[in-house]
Chains A and B, each alone.
Chain A
């Protein structure tokens, strides 16, 4: 019973149809959540007693950073599924995740840099979180670079899947080594807010933004996956019908 569900999940026309149906739901839900979160974070939440209004960039920075890691994990998991069970659709998912994840990482770096400018006066500090994000960006770029360098699509899928799995194993190692490295030297203050715990008025919009970004990721993923599937299956008969309708 579970197997048929699993194998239907691997059928490209099936996934295409589901993705098409679900995209608007996720898109609208994401828009609502992000608007609500921004409203709560930018307008309703009280200013931080140390940073004033500068901290508000956290409402974009923190969800971006969180998503950059979550997307990499999703990418690695779907790549692993594609590698082990030889499901083409799983590889399409992994390929679609990469640019989205790289964009989130880039957004986290840019917002982190802007926040740093406010806090430390310089646009860049070798803060452990920013450094880890930068290395994560390199991992994404490496994944996308390998994909485009290998000509044959099947081989590109499988090789980049190995890279994604190797990457996800390395991410905690890299993270802790960077943390260790940073703790040895005179570390600049890590980006944190003045208080040890966040009051609800600050925290709730942050969680809503996180939810919104997750929904946004799913919506973008579904859109990209549809395009990926169409591209990969372009020789199949169902594609002509799907595109015509």
Chain B
């Protein structure tokens, strides 16, 4: 992402200030359309509800599948949330202004994805323990569930940003976006579900959490670069 983060460029607007401005803008926009924000969370709740209906109302049985159900539901609802990451900016011409702003596009997209994570991933991480409790997990496992979903959703947002950037300009891109994003998200699912499972069983869940953190670091450093290349391709 270029030279020292704290360097003030010719603009007089340092990259940090630009990122703050971007995050503030996106958060403001998100809150003006609060209704849309709720949809992925509602989806998460509904998907979680499907499992007791489809499997069994017995909590003892549900407890076994709870980590998997939480994670699959989280994965699918984060996909839903990706719809409004870049699409609006691409439609009204502000995305190309980001590309022409004199700031590093990868850095701006990273800031956008962080804002997106704040309004999709964090609420999801806070809702996940409720889903867990509804599926019979012990109260003590809540911390582990929140930690793993919060950390995993960072990587999911970053990977999703790549998929969203690649499918800009493709109409009805929902299925294609899933096809592109889900295989890349499988490692997150594996480690995250394992961390949640260990937390539910009351065991130490640090190793998979570290692996999740490693994936998050990788995602945060590489995904914005790929997304920036993909965005520039869509603007050509």
Residues on A lying within 8 angstroms of B by beta carbon are 83, 135, 138-139, 141-142, 145-146, 149-150, 154-155, 158-159, 162-163, 165-167, 169-170, 173-174, 177-178, 180-181, 184
Contact = CB atoms under 8 A, between A and B. Distances in A.
Interface string B209-236: 0010001001000100010011001101
Contacts of A158: 233, 236
Interface residues on B, range: 20 to 34
Interface in B189-214: 190-191, 194, 211
A164 B162 CA distance: 12
B183 A142 contact: yes
Those 3 A-B pairs whose CB atoms lie nearest each other, nearest first:
A177-B187, A138-B183, A158-B233
A149 B174 CA distance: 12
Nearest to A169: B222
Contacts of B182: 138
A142 B180 contact: yes
A162 B229 contact: yes
A94 to B, nearest CB: 15
Contacts of B236: 154-155, 158
Contacts of A83: 229
Contact of A163 (B166, B173, B190, B211): B166
B234 A177 contact: no
A149 B170 contact: yes
Contacts of B173: 149
B233 A163 contact: no
A146 B180 CA distance: 8
Given A138-B183, A169-B222, A177-B211, 20 more contacts: A142-B179, A142-B180, A142-B183, A145-B176, A146-B166, A149-B167, A149-B173, A150-B170, A158-B236, A159-B234, A162-B162, A162-B226, A162-B229, A165-B226, A170-B183, A173-B187, A174-B184, A174-B186, A177-B186, A178-B190
Contacts of A173: 187, 215, 218
A174 B185 CA distance: 9
A162 B166 contact: yes
B226 A184 contact: no
A180 B222 CA distance: 23
| Of A139, A154, A162, A169, most B-chain CB atoms within 10 Å | A162
Given A159-B233, A169-B222, A174 B183 contact: yes
